[in-house]
Amino acid sequence: MKSIRVVMADTAAVPFDAGTFGSRTTPTMASQLRRAAAAAREELLALAAEQGKVEKDSFTVTDGKTSGPDGTPPFTFGQLTKGQKVMKVIPAGVATPAANKWTVAGTSVPKVDGRAFVTGSHQYASDVRRKGILFGKVLRPRTARSWRRPM
């Protein structure tokens, strides 16, 4: 889990996502993320098979690396991708593991950046200050008629 980072809402790094919608985010996105992870796993296994010159089905994936049959070197995900972005369309029929086969999902893990939230050091968008930033304020009249000039 320490090596996993999900990047959302950074338009320089990921395509447009529809945003966060409170209690609908997890039920809507969890199955999509499982599909994406399963498709990524298959792609990494294909890269390992290509680099190891053995059948894809002979590899397993554990702890951020692929392991092959005896004599085949293990490959980390970084070695397989060589630092390149691997972007593919997720196939419609990509198989995801059944819940009883999960090794990470369903386990209790610390909240990402939880310490920063508890200590108050986390910066929300409204906390960020940029050089030269300008601030605005909406001024509203005290009453509906106060905007009129007296005659």
Residue by residue, pLDDT tens for the chain (151 residues) are 777 777 766 777 776 666 666 777 778 888 888 899 899 999 999 999 998 888 888 888 888 889 888 878 889 998 999 888 888 899 888 989 898 988 888 888 888 888 999 999 998 888 888 899 888 899 887 776 655 666 5
Q: How many domains does the chain have?
A: 1
pLDDT of residue 47: 92
Q: Is 77 helix (H, G, I), strand (E, B) or coil?
A: helix
Kindly state whether residue 74 falls inside one of the protein's structural domains: yes
Handedness of CA 126, 129, 133, 136 (dihedral sign): positive
Residue 4 to residue 9: CA distance in whole angstroms: 17
- Cβ atoms of 75 and 81 within 8 Å: the answer is no
The contacts of residue 90 (CB under 8 Å, 6+ apart) are 35, 36, 39
Cα 18 to chain centroid distance, Å, stands at 14
Kindly state whether residue 135 falls inside one of the protein's structural domains: no
Look up the domain containing 60 and give its range: 22-127
DSSP string, 22-78: GGGHHHHHHHHHHHHHHHHHHHHHHHHHHHHTS-GGG-EEETTEEE-STTSPPEEHH
Nearest CA-CA partner of 31 in 87, 85, 99, 77: 99
Kindly state whether residue 34 falls inside one of the protein's structural domains: yes
Longest C-alpha distance within the chain, in Å? 95
pTM: 0.65
Kindly state whether residue 72 falls inside one of the protein's structural domains: yes
Kindly state whether residue 151 falls inside one of the protein's structural domains: no
Residue 14 to residue 25: CA distance in whole angstroms: 17
Kindly state whether residue 90 falls inside one of the protein's structural domains: yes
pLDDT of residue 109: 83
Q: Distances from the Cα of 135 to the Cαs of 121, 123, 129, 131, 132, in angstroms?
A: 23, 18, 10, 12, 10
